[in-house]
Structure 1
């Protein structure tokens, strides 16, 4: 007879998990049994049984407190410290995995002279808050979104082109229309562009007196009215004061956008008249989209780094600036100074306040896939990467399970055939020594990245923590995702340094063990270096309270990607007894929609 769903009393009763108030309820936890369709590669018409639960498997009462985000020293958290009633799992999607082409943005490289802005309308909307952030995005502030106002505005002047059209050795950037921009001898065209953007090249400035570009005319027509300037930049040096964009005002400048020193560290900077706002952390060799704007209505200046406001909104009294627009230098009493060393691209200037959606599009970098392991085969003990990248080397206690050529009927009560979680196979790990690993790091854990895997536990009552996926160094893991039986939770754990006993940040999601049945869970973590934030998703969803945390202690791991084990005080440990399948790694942060599209 069909199984009856478990009752759903109030959370305080603790007998069964109620649907989450933040997303639609879905099969999972306790409820009627369901049947999963055939896996890719299986014979047509066969279906794969999914896990089900009876009333006998209803969870025992647990605390209703929300999951915690904590920074701790290594060691076991207090029993039940983060437990709460779990929320139903989201149904899996059969949508294809996201690719780099699934996200688009606008942008043009530095390759020609400025053009006057075209007309466009913008609206004033209510200010919104963005999350406080530190380090790369500056000191913690309750930053508001860029402000727009009613009336007509003007579009951006652009230096357009899918690639640089200037011949090698050219001393000017060809204009789309208008006056060409003269380039000093210290400018090299065809420099690298930020990945994940439409830009194919930028201009490199050498930091000498010859490293500049100028159209020989002003670009911001009236510095007493609304205006904004910005572009993609990658500093080769972050010492001293260095200018990205400026406009002459007699023997001074009307405004400057660049970097300066703030205490003992460099900071991005935007100055109008005698007022300056600083924030964020420029890092040598790291790309950033920087934009400064002046709001004539409020008489204030704001600075944005990678689409987020940094520093404090500052009152300013503009000065008339009818001189030439400058790229890579600023005017001083003794001539030009504060020269930029590094790359600059996609330079834009606006005679209005920037619309929030525009700023987001300008600063967005699409995630780039750097690894995918289907784990369907492992010839000679090597599970290949789908695009020919680094394989995963299987250790003792690890094997790849493949579907039989003639599997039994899943509806036959005597059929005990296992099914791959995805595709034609999955990785089996014995919980003793089983693991698979690459020889070198797959993601740069000091920058933005996304890692995801589908995992199913063999036991329904594991005795000790088990790590599904990790990447770290000699003493600790820059990240690891593990199951903690003490709290019946999947945990994302991030060590603050590659040192014994380093503090850890932990994000937690309550889920019951699988008991070697069903399709397991897809666990996904993201780290956004521009916002210094980590997020943790299980089956495509993160907790509305506790799914994201501030994290400003990222470090660059030196070890390979690990499946089935993690670093402990005694070396390798926390071996997983279960199966792992369909592992993805990205440079950059996938959107929530893309994460839900992962198989």
Structure 2
């Protein structure tokens, strides 16, 4: 029958094709409505069994293969991730997926096969149980020096960075004898990571904290304007070098440095204090083997050392895997150290006890602990009492010589300091400046948190040295417009890591901030003052109102801890 005859009979071309296919036994993609067989997933590094395998920071290969010979691609998705597709090299061929686990625990991989007709198979679920990342291949600190050969310019008598579990550090004096050498089997042509806690004493020349054949980690002045920066350098296979720089080192301040080289991604990365500051793509490192050198960039073939480290150094680690971001953030975190917490619930004998048994707050003048009760739950005609800010009591001050004090002063660490309190004043009747908290030294106050009457605002002032004419930094935020009934939570945070002074009012968002780059904190000698300032031994700016929940910390309170303190009580 001719085609025109088929059309007159009402038969379409598609029907002709189907009939022809049926007669000849040849199928087309349009004919195929059968889903391919679900794929099988396998991995040598991370088999799907009841055990944890390898771990965080170590790549694994996952082979995805369906027994159907017309499969052209595979759709896959990690738990909670975005669906992606891999194309087979030819119909029926398997595909391989490389994966780097970032966290320990159980996860799963979904996989489906897709054939040329677009049919999708049932989903295969492959469980992966990831173990903790492998420990560092090489570790050094002054207490566990791993058999290092140490020069006479190294003295292991310093303290480690506060707010960490690292208790010791070594002083490197910047001379030819300021070095430590120890074995390290890691091949830096392959995946490796290195970290260290470092504290430079000077920044007038390039300095190397950690090095070996294949990399160096330290500081450099080879940047625009000659400004010192942190540095991670690697010689490349082509005979050149990559220099990753970033961050702002400051003399006398600790920093956590991490260098990572990932051959899978052909990338090198530099992290400073937990933050990724620079990445070098398309990097193929020359690598090499040999001893690890601390405090200088030594050459194993006998050439002269360079870049001698002048400062403190501790907790050096080298891994033969990727040190992943979550691990880096955890290692760089410095927890604030609580110095004092006074809940101001009671004051037996005129002293309000400190939460952990430290020095109490001694009440002076007519200062008292305010408590209140009423019978409003049974008497509808009652006059509601004004209850304390937090809990059953707070500190009541009348502005006429009332205050409290404690010798448990605010003593900043090299990470900074934080203070917080609750306050209630009547802004409509407050006609003079009033101090909530202040920490005097010999000549000035390290900080003052106060109410400014003219602008009806809160103000925090920090002095950068203990002198009568010390330079200061100020942050300001409006006080509540709701007057005498308003409970406001205030916090002052001086953050040496970010070089910021921050003022928080009520919520956990910064109300005001200012840069304190290059301006260090100092250790005051006076007693902490509650409800007044002290100038030349004389009290001024006495507070009229109520204060509660006074907290002092060495180090930086983050937003989580601030939120906890705002609702009252000690942090965990």
TM-score by length of 2: 0.63
CA distance in 1, matches of 2:233, 2:548: 52
* Counterpart residue number, 2:480: 511
Spell out, residue by residue over 1:367-421, the C-alpha distance to the aligned partner (whole angstroms, 9 max, x if none): 111111222344554443333334434343x4122547xx442444445655433
Shift of 1:443: 3.0
Map residues 568-583 of structure 1 onto 2, 5 A cutoff: 572-583=539-550
Q: Alignment partner of 1:362: what SS?
A: helix
Which residue does 1:357 correspond to in 2? 326
Instruction: Indicate which of 205, 225, 231 corresponds to 2:196.
Output: 231
Report deviation, 1:229.
1.6
Deviations 1:54-91 (A, max 9, x none): xxxxxxxxxxxxxxxxxxxxxxxxxxxxxxxxxxxxxx
- Pair 1:560-2:527 in alignment: yes
In the TM superposition, residue 116 of structure 1 has moved relative to its aligned partner by 12
Shift of 1:306: 1.3
In 1, Cα distance between the equivalents of 2:268 and 2:140?
32
1:382-461 alignment runs, 5 A limit? 382-396=351-365, 398-403=366-371, 407-411=373-377, 412=379, 413-415=381-383, 417-439=385-407, 441-444=409-412, 447-458=415-426, 460-461=428-429
Give, in angstroms, the shift of residue 247 of structure 1: 1.0
Alignment of 1:106-125 (within 5 A): 119-120=58-59
SS of the aligned residue for 1:491 comes to: strand
Q: 1:100 corresponds to which residue? A: none
Deviation at 1:587, TM superposition (A): 1.4
* Map of 1:5 onto structure 2: none
Contact kept in structure 2, 1:496 and 1:505, CA below 8 Å: no
Alignment of 1:190-339 (within 5 A): 192-201=159-168, 212-222=179-189, 227-235=192-200, 240-248=205-213, 254-260=214-220, 267-273=229-235, 274-283=241-250, 285-294=252-261, 302-309=269-276, 318-332=285-299, 334-339=303-308
Give, in whole Å, the separation in 1 of the partners of 2:289 and 2:414. Answer: 42
Structure 2 residue 136 is the aligned partner of structure 1 residue 158: yes
Q: CA deviation at 1:584?
A: 0.6
- What corresponds to 1:471 in structure 2? 439
Q: How many residues are paired up? A: 436
Pair member with larger Rg: 2
Q: CA deviation at 1:451?
A: 0.8
Deviations 1:319-362 (A, max 9, x none): 44333332333214634344445554332334566533222112
Alignment partners' CA distance in 2, 1:418 and 1:442: 31
Alpha-carbon contact 2:141-2:315 (below 8 Å) kept: no
Task: Please give the alpha-carbon distance, in whole angstroms, between the structure 1 residues aligned to 2:389 and 2:438.
Answer: 20
Distance 2:322 2:504 in 1: 36
Whether the 8 Å contact between 1:219 and 1:324 is mirrored in structure 2 is: no
The question of whether the paired residues in 2 share the 8 Å contact of 1:500 and 1:569 is answered with no
Unaligned runs of 5+ in 2: 1-53, 62-77, 79-96, 103-132, 236-240
How far does residue 312 in structure 1 lie from its aligned partner after superposition?
Answer: 9.3
Q: Could you say what secondary structure the match of 1:119 adopts?
A: coil
Corresponding residue to 1:184 among 143, 150, 155: 150
Q: Contact conserved, 2:178 with 2:309, CA < 8 A, in 1?
A: yes
Local SS of the residue matching 1:454 = strand
SS at match of 1:331: coil
1:462 pairs with 2:462: no
Cα distance in 2 for residues equivalent to 1:265 and 1:184: 31
Q: Unpaired runs of 5+ in structure 1?
A: 1-114, 124-148, 167-171, 174-180, 249-253
Specify whether residues 191 and 490 from structure 1 end up closer, same or farther in structure 2 by C-alpha distance, changes over 3 A only. Answer: closer
Q: For residues 440 and 278 of structure 2, what CA distance do their matches in structure 1 show?
A: 33
Contact 1:278 1:312 in 2 (8 A): no
Q: Which moved more, 1:474-483 or 1:424-433?
A: 474-483
TM-score normalised according to structure 1 size: 0.60
Deviates more, 1:304-313 or 1:567-576: 567-576
User: Do 1:375 and 1:427's aligned partners in 2 also have CA atoms closer than 8 Å?
Assistant: yes
- Check the 8 A contact 1:156/1:349 in 2, yes or no: no
The structure with higher relative contact order (CA 8 Å, sep 6+) is 1
The alpha carbon displacement at 1:221 in A equals: 3.3
**Most deviating of 532-541 and 469-478:** 469-478
